[in-house]
Structure 1
């Protein structure tokens, strides 16, 4: 069975890499396309064209270190094209935010916390289409006998959200990340690092941020379907008003048949700079 395993955990570029589940001889990939399109999925592709489409909701809740609770809902659609060691994608999110603080749409619709104590000029509730993200991942190592893998990923978030929505910085963001993984028996540990260049919106001073992640993937059955992913994720805060984010992330993914795959995922916050929890789901179809 030929499968790939993609991963985008949180609102930052955290990991990308080709990994191999040696115990079942099934290649898997953990790649960063960013929340809320985590693509934590087995890609049991039936299409020869290389195209697939994914859609699903994600929800974050917590005070993020502020005096009140913020709830963030995102529903996103992503179109991806795979061609050999290169894959490209584009994601369009719809966002609904209930928060007294200031936050903007990040890569693929994940939230960027700016200030949890500063009232948003647009009011507590904001909704609408967020910014479009386009990205590409190149698998620098393919088919090595020892399974060692390196993936390099780049993303471009374009300011396409409407003016006055309160969801966008109105600026372009660029993020770069790399992932290294190598199978150890039937388990595939990975580590990753990323850097994000944030455009500064009027009235706010956003700083560039780093991110890191470490975890593993493992099959839950001899067929490597479903697959489990566990990781610890770190994201540096974009401003001095919000603490850095530390979180635990978990996802499980499997095939449905007919070109469909399913994914469920969630996180638990370990610091004030992240949500208390997040949950999400994703369905993908090979076109």
Structure 2
């Protein structure tokens, strides 16, 4: 389960409406608290609270985003570490610990090289950097940076349906003795505008496993956006169901954003 990407989930539906309706520059400030439970491929029952605050700028071509999360975890096996939104460096120990603090900060940039026309989707290459700001001592991170490059395809069907697909390759920062490997990341789904205020999104998201010998995360996500203003200020609610041993059993999130 990539709980970092789920923190961005509420923005996907927002992009679908704003990317079409507004060419003028826009700033968004948001906060998305979320909660996950599962084994994540370990013998422990792990609970994670992930509270992500973000600042985003977008215009017709660019979307730049800085995300700063607070992280609290319980049931994490001693010696295990969180990384990139999952669990790595799993160990066989039954001893667990709890910890809280600053998570890994993410900076991303998306650039639309082709706006799309008719049956041809918009083409949006992107790059992301995960700064290793989370505590290594407490197991909240690896202390190493990750770098991801990828490509997104965003389509418009009529005026209400917005399919999307993204494929990326992440260069994983490998701490000493970590034996972590680079991974592919992917998601595919669609947003649907039910009314001017209500937007629904369904998405399948996954990646390879950073630690050899374990299953990578795979999740189905359902989200609801409610727009209070025409610009896109409003609320998001989403639910996650893990489909693999590397995912959480379930996750839920409720967030809000202000667009100006």
Say whether 1:202 aligns with 2:142.
Answer: no
Checking the alignment, whether the CA contact within 8 Å between 2:238 and 2:254 is kept in structure 1 is yes
Between 1:77-86 and 1:252-261, the stretch displaced more is 252-261
- Note the alpha carbon deviations across 1:69-104, whole angstroms, 9 max, x for none: 111111111011113301111111100011233132
Q: Which residue of 2 aligns with 1:82?
A: 58
Q: How does 1:170-185 map to 2 (within 5 A)?
A: 170-185=143-158
Equivalent pair of 2:34/2:254 in contact (CA under 8 Å) = yes
Q: Tell me, in whole angstroms, the C-alpha distance in 1 between the residues paired with 2:88 and 2:94.
A: 10
Q: Aligned to 1:206, what secondary structure does the other structure show?
A: coil
Structure 1 position 162, deviation (Å)? 4.2
Cα distance in structure 1, aligned partners of 2:114 and 2:62: 11
Matches of 1:161 and 1:181, distance apart in 2: 32
Offset of residue 135 of structure 1 = 1.0
Deviation at 1:241, TM superposition (A): 4.3
Residue 237 of structure 1, CA deviation: 0.7
Give 2:132's match in structure 1, choosing from 138, 155, 159: 159
Query: In the alignment, what sits opposite 1:68?
Result: 44
Q: Is the 1:247–1:274 contact (alpha carbons within 8 Å) kept by the matching residues of 2?
A: yes
1:91 pairs with 56, 67, 72, which one?
Answer: 67
SS in 2 for 1:257: coil
User: Partner of 1:23 in structure 2?
Assistant: none
- Secondary structure in 1 matching 2:179: coil
Q: Retained in 1: the 8 A contact 2:25–2:60?
A: no
The normalised TM-score by structure 2 is: 0.85
Structure 1 residue 105, shift from structure 2 partner? 3.9
Question: Which of these residues, 124, 139, 144, is aligned with residue 117 of structure 2?
Answer: 144
Higher-helix-fraction structure: 2
Q: CA separation in 1, counterparts of 2:65 and 2:137? A: 27
Q: Determine the C-alpha separation between the residues in 2 that align with 1:238 and 1:35.
A: 18
Q: 1:67 to 1:10 in 2, by over 3 A?
A: closer
Any idea what the Cα deviations from partners look like across 1:196-222, whole Å, max 9, x if unmatched? 11011122111001122222221223x
Q: TM-score normalized by structure 1?
A: 0.78
1:246: Cα distance to partner? Answer: 2.0
SS at match of 1:92: strand
Show structure 1 runs of 4+ deviating over 6 A.
none
Residue 229 of structure 2 is aligned to residue 257 of structure 1: yes
| Distance in 2 (alpha carbons) for counterparts of 1:180 and 1:227 | 19
Number of residue pairs matched by the alignment: 251
Q: Is the 8 A contact 2:185 2:207 kept in 1?
A: yes
Residue 35 of structure 1 aligns to a residue whose secondary structure is: helix
- In the TM superposition, residue 146 of structure 1 has moved relative to its aligned partner by 4.4
Shift in alpha-carbon separation, 1:212–1:37, aligned structure 2, 3 A: closer
Match of 1:16 in 2: none
Where structure 1 has 5 or more consecutive residues not aligned to the other structure, the ranges are 1-8, 13-33
Cα distance in structure 2, aligned partners of 1:143 and 1:65: 40
Greater mean alpha carbon deviation, residues 176-185 or residues 64-73: 176-185
Answering whether residue 216 of structure 2 is matched by residue 244 of structure 1, we say yes
C-alpha distance 104-120 of structure 1, shift in aligned 2 (>3 A)? farther
Return the alpha-carbon distance in structure 2 between the equivalents of residues 166 and 66 of structure 1. 14
